Structure 1
Amino acid sequence: MLADTINRAARRVPAWPIYILGLIPFGWWVYLGATGGLGAEPVEALEHELGEFALKLLIVVLAITPLMRLARVNLVKYRRALGIMTYVYVMLHFAVWLVLDVQILSEVWADIVKRPYVTVGFVAMLLMTPLALTSNNWSIRKLGPRWRKLHKLTYPVAVLGALHFVMLRKGFQLEPLIYMAIILGLVGLRYLPKPGRRVARA
């Protein structure tokens, strides 16, 4: 079976290369920006690429549990590395906006308060920070059952991230709506009964 083949391969491939390979897109976009390959608005293009890649990584993270439950594909060992890389790209997205776009520090808070899409994105980043800080074995041991509850924040973070993208693209645009639909679908799958579990009758 395909699932067995993937699971055997996953057991042999460690998670640590994700931290190295995950930075390749960032390096490529920086190179493009420095050589004029990001168009007339390189800062805006870099912001967009970083933010969209973070959303893509977040979708992969959200898909790991449904894959395991529905297709018996076990990629759980990669979830921590993928989650951390998602946060790295969120922070890079924020740093480009802060340093290269806004530039004037006194205007940062004004933008966060006055622009709803910035507010939504900033809240998503704040909620994601404790998830990144506790993505280690020490935190799992110290927090115990509370760790799993804390990391359920991944779901509202994902929805807020998609909403940030939708609000950023003013008017009806298909691409951010597709991201929102995928994320809502993956979050919704969490509430499906697990295979083999009987659904209680009302």
Structure 2
Amino acid sequence: MKLPWRDRRGKFLPFKAVVLLSLLVPGVLYAFWLRTDALGGRPVMEAIHGAGLWAIRLLILSLAISPFARALDWPGLLLVRRMIGVAAACYAVAHLSLYVVDQKFVLWTVVSEIALRFYLTIGFVALLVLLALAFTSNDASVKRLGPNWKRLHRLAYPIGAVALLHYFIQSKANVSEPVFVAGLFIWLMLWRTVPEAWRRRQGLAFVAGFYGSLAVLSGLAAAGVEFAWYGLETRINPWRVLAADETIAYGLRPAHWVFVVAVAIMAVTVVRRLLPRGTRRVPPARQRQQVPIAEA
């Protein structure tokens, strides 16, 4: 069995090892905080929310690997996409497992809650699909499933949307981070809707215009999502929320942060295009691998 920090030939890859250790950090921290009673009056519930949050963050990050690899002209990033996607599934399993602990291991209560509460139902569906993607994240599954493998792993995109809806409902009135994550998810979906030929173009003017347009559209979309959520699901006046999004006088709002991150991606992409071709990181072909959870 190939270890996750090695390539196909068994060679140790420091980059993969660092990513693997980084993926373990949130889990280790929450375990330590649980052990030391550092999570407040409802420590298990805080750990449940933390595990779920990291599951969504890592799922979105796994979907972002292809755009980032293209923007940075760094195909080596694709080597860690499998690892990040599987980690997202592991944190989702921890999320459910901690919920079982919180329910005192009364499985009937857990099952009934999942069946009766919509946000738990869709969260459980997302978990099942993530597990299917994780268990088929290997070369043997790629060969066995053939063309169906890509069809299966494209489910990562709708499941990302389902996981975000679960996150919104669970967050109730304070949806600042869900809005931010939703804005980044929209950026990813916009990037994938454009023709492949556009994504491969190297001209600086085109690259700046393309990524700049994504920044504006994703920021506006995030503001629209926030407006719709407060208008449909809460008693908070959505027009006041929208008015807050139109100024930075009171600090940056989630939609602003989406725009800032997207502009940063644009800037890095432009700078990367200015570098000589020889300085770009292209891994040997033998190190490239089929990468699941979301294919390029």
TM-score after normalising by structure 2: 0.59
Query: Which residue in 2 is equivalent to 1:23?
Result: 24
- Give 1:176 shift: 1.4
- Give 1:186 shift: 1.2
* Percent of residue pairs bearing the same amino acid type: 32
Matches within 5 A, 1:121-132: 121-132=123-134
- Give 1:196 shift: 4.8
SS at match of 1:15: helix
2: CA distance, partners of 1:166 / 1:110: 21
Contact kept, 8 Å, 2:45 with 2:102, in 1: the verdict is no
SS at match of 1:38: coil
Q: How many residues align?
A: 188
Contact kept, 8 Å, 1:50 with 1:93, in 2: the verdict is yes
- Give 1:129 shift: 1.6
- Give 1:59 shift: 1.6
- Give 1:100 shift: 2.7
Residues 26 and 142 of structure 1: CA distance in aligned 2, closer, same or farther (over 3 Å): same
Contact kept, 8 Å, 1:44 with 1:101, in 2: the verdict is no
Task: Give unpaired runs (5+ residues) of structure 2.
Answer: 1-11, 201-296
SS at match of 2:154: helix
Contact kept, 8 Å, 2:164 with 2:182, in 1: the verdict is yes
Contact kept, 8 Å, 1:64 with 1:79, in 2: the verdict is yes
Matches within 5 A, 1:77-156: 77-101=79-103, 103-156=105-158
Task: Give unpaired runs (5+ residues) of structure 1.
Answer: 1-10
Query: Which residue in 1 is equivalent to 2:293?
Result: none
- Give 1:87 shift: 0.7
Query: Which residue in 2 is equivalent to 1:63?
Result: 64
TM-score after normalising by structure 1: 0.84
SS at match of 2:155: helix
Contact kept, 8 Å, 1:69 with 1:194, in 2: the verdict is no
Contact kept, 8 Å, 1:50 with 1:92, in 2: the verdict is yes
Deviation track 1:174-194 (CA, whole Å, cap 9, x = no partner) reads: 121211221222123211112
Deviation track 1:98-146 (CA, whole Å, cap 9, x = no partner) reads: 1234632111121112111111111101111210110011111111221
Contact kept, 8 Å, 2:133 with 2:153, in 1: the verdict is yes
The list of structure 1 runs, each at least 4 consecutive aligned residues, that deviate by more than 3 angstroms after superposition, is: 11-14, 16-21, 195-198
2: CA distance, partners of 1:196 / 1:190: 10
2: CA distance, partners of 1:130 / 1:64: 20
Matches within 5 A, 1:32-51: 32-51=33-52
Residues 173 and 69 of structure 1: CA distance in aligned 2, closer, same or farther (over 3 Å): same
Contact kept, 8 Å, 2:103 with 2:109, in 1: the verdict is no
Larger Rg: 2
Contact kept, 8 Å, 1:54 with 1:89, in 2: the verdict is yes
Residues 196 and 32 of structure 1: CA distance in aligned 2, closer, same or farther (over 3 Å): closer
Query: Which residue in 2 is equivalent to 1:53?
Result: 54
1: CA distance, partners of 2:168 / 2:186: 13
SS at match of 2:172: coil
Amino acid paired to 1:35: T
Query: Which residue in 1 is equivalent to 2:266?
Result: none
Amino acid paired to 1:27: V
Query: Which has the higher relative contact order, 1 or 2, with Cα contacts under 8 A spaced 6 or more apart?
Result: 2
